[in-house]
């Protein structure tokens, strides 16, 4: 279902000069029905108490969900934009990396819903998020 001809290296080039590059997000794997990425937990992604900022988790979730949705459509005909995102923050993280995996809950003609689970280096759940994407026709 996802376009696996697009490599993580190609996707990472596209994120260099925007929010994705600023916070250090890297796409690590493109599967037929999932997309994985990682983000450092450091001064770029901390809140004042030295923990991973909840907004940074949402940036990772939206990045993965948006890219995954885009890889699931014909990009010569359609583009994807976020409609709604939510996140439940489960566990704090002080350093290292967090790892996100986006999987589809619904792939429709005009909307997609993606589940993104973010885990720490011990594979414990840090954040669970759901994003709804609008699929729009290029005119």
Task: Give catalytic residues, as residue numbers.
Answer: 62
Q: Tell the burial category of 108 from Cβ atoms under 10 Å away from its Cβ (0-12, 13-18, 19+).
A: exposed
* CA dist 112 → 19, 25, 38, 65, 84 (Å): 22, 22, 22, 9, 11
Structural element, H or E, at residue 70: helix 54-71
């Amino acid at each position: 279902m996802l376009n696996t001809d697009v490599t993580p290296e190609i996707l990472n080039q596209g994120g260099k000069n925007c929010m994705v590059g600023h916070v250090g997000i890297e796409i690590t794997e493109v599967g037929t029905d999932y997309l994985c990425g990682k983000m450092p937990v450091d001064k770029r992604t901390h809140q004042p108490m030295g923990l991973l900022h909840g907004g940074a988790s949402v940036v990772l979730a939206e990045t993965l969900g948006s890219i995954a949705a885009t890889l699931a459509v014909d990009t010569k005909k359609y583009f994807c934009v976020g409609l709604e995102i939510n996140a439940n923050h489960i566990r704090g993280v002080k350093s290292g990396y967090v790892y996100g995996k986006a999987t589809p809950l619904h792939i429709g003609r005009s909307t997609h819903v993606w589940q993104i689970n973010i885990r720490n280096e011990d594979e414990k759940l840090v954040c669970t998020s759901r994003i709804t994407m609008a699929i729009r026709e290029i005119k």
